[in-house]
């Protein structure tokens, strides 16, 4: 095992760090002023959760790449789905926190959710551990979609700032 696992594991964190910069500027201002549902987690939960999820999904992608022959082998579709969901994941934060558009962010996360589910399914025949590593991310994305929906609906009369 060379350094590839480290690159794959670190890759999702690039978008996470960029997103954190956008988020951190908006949490004490715009986000603080939003109405949120009762099940909204405390703000401190998100950083450690995303760190763990990005690490797990990144390592899962490495396992699929390694065991599935990369983009030249059986891993082509799973890795394409992975890249798609990762791009959608990275786009969500600038839409929600940067543009202050929870409705558009909800539409975007609803496109991301089936991509994550497809990763779980397509990773399994190549490496079952990779599939299992994606399951917490799938669950969290589902939860995030519900949370996003309620924030959007509770604040639908509020204009983007």
Tell me the pLDDT tens digit for each residue of 108-140: 999 999 999 999 999 999 999 999 999 999 999
137 and 53 Cβ atoms separated by less than 8 Å:
yes
**Residue 70 scores a pLDDT above 90:** no
CATH number at residue 126: 1.20.1260.100
pTM over 0.85? The answer is yes
Domain-located, residue 35: no
Domain-located, residue 24: no
Domain-located, residue 38: no
Percent of the chain surpassing pLDDT 90: 91
Domain-located, residue 68: yes
Domain-located, residue 137: yes
Q: How many residues does the chain have?
A: 161
SS3 annotation, the chain:
CCCHHHHHHHHHHHHHHHHHHHHHHHCCCCHHHCCCCCCCCCHHHHHHHHHHHHHHHHHHHHHHHHHHCHHHCCCHHHHHHHHHHHHHHHHHHHHHHHCCCHHHHHHHHHHHHHHHHHHHHHHCCCCHHHHHHHHHHHHHHHHHHHHHHHHHHHCCCCCCC
Domain limits for position 116: 4-16+44-154
Average pLDDT of the segment spanning 70-90: 95
- By C-alpha distance, which of 92, 75, 87, 81 is closest to 23? 92
């Amino acid at each position: 095992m060379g350094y590839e696992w480290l690159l794959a594991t670190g890759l999702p964190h690039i978008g996470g760090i960029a997103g954190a910069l956008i988020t951190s500027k908006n949490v004490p201002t715009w986000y603080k002023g939003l109405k949120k549902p009762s099940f909204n987690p405390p703000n401190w939960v998100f950083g450690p959760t995303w760190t763990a999820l990005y690490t797990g999904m990144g390592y899962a992608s490495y396992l699929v790449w390694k065991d599935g022959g990369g983009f030249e082998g059986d891993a082509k579709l799973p890795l394409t789905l992975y890249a798609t969901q990762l791009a959608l994941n990275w786009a969500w934060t600038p839409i929600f926190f940067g543009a202050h558009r929870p409705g558009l962010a909800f539409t975007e996360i609803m496109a991301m959710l089936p991509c994550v589910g497809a990763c779980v399914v397509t990773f399994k025949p190549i490496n079952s551990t990779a599939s299992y590593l994606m399951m917490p991310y799938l669950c969290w994305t589902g939860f995030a979609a519900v949370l996003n929906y309620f924030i959007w609906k509770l604040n639908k009369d509020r204009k983007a700032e």
